[in-house]
Amino acid sequence: MTVISHCQPTASDPQVLEVLKRRSIKLLDECIELSHHAKLAVMLWQKLKQLQIFDREEQKSIYDMAWEELANFPPSPEVEEQQDQVQMEVTEGAGP
């Protein structure tokens, strides 16, 4: 259960509690804004990696951001060396 869902007013709440919950949601929306890297960190944290604290649309956005970051990440020298080796083997194997 997320903090936001816990703060959703229900029909059985007294009026005072309903007002308190609505104000809490408003404060959370206004005051807590996670940055791009903070959202990626949440995804990498073992206990929160399923991103249940976010709605489905936000989860998809976070996964998309992660894949984009990985795609733009420069390869390690070992990976580049392996790619060069594979390219040489392909080139040599495609001879006359």
Domain definitions of the chain by residue range = 1-33, 35-96
Question: What is the chain's pLDDT, residue by residue, as a tens digit (96 residues)?
Answer: 467 777 888 999 999 999 999 998 888 878 777 787 888 888 877 777 777 777 888 889 888 988 888 888 777 777 777 877 877 877 776 555
Q: Is the pTM for the entire model greater than 0.85? A: no
Closest among 5, 58, 50, 51 to 28, alpha carbons compared: 5
How far is the C-alpha of 82 from the C-alpha of 91, rounded, in Å? 14
Give per-residue burial for 27-47: e unless 16+ CB within 10 Å, then b: eeeeeeeeeeeebbebbeeee
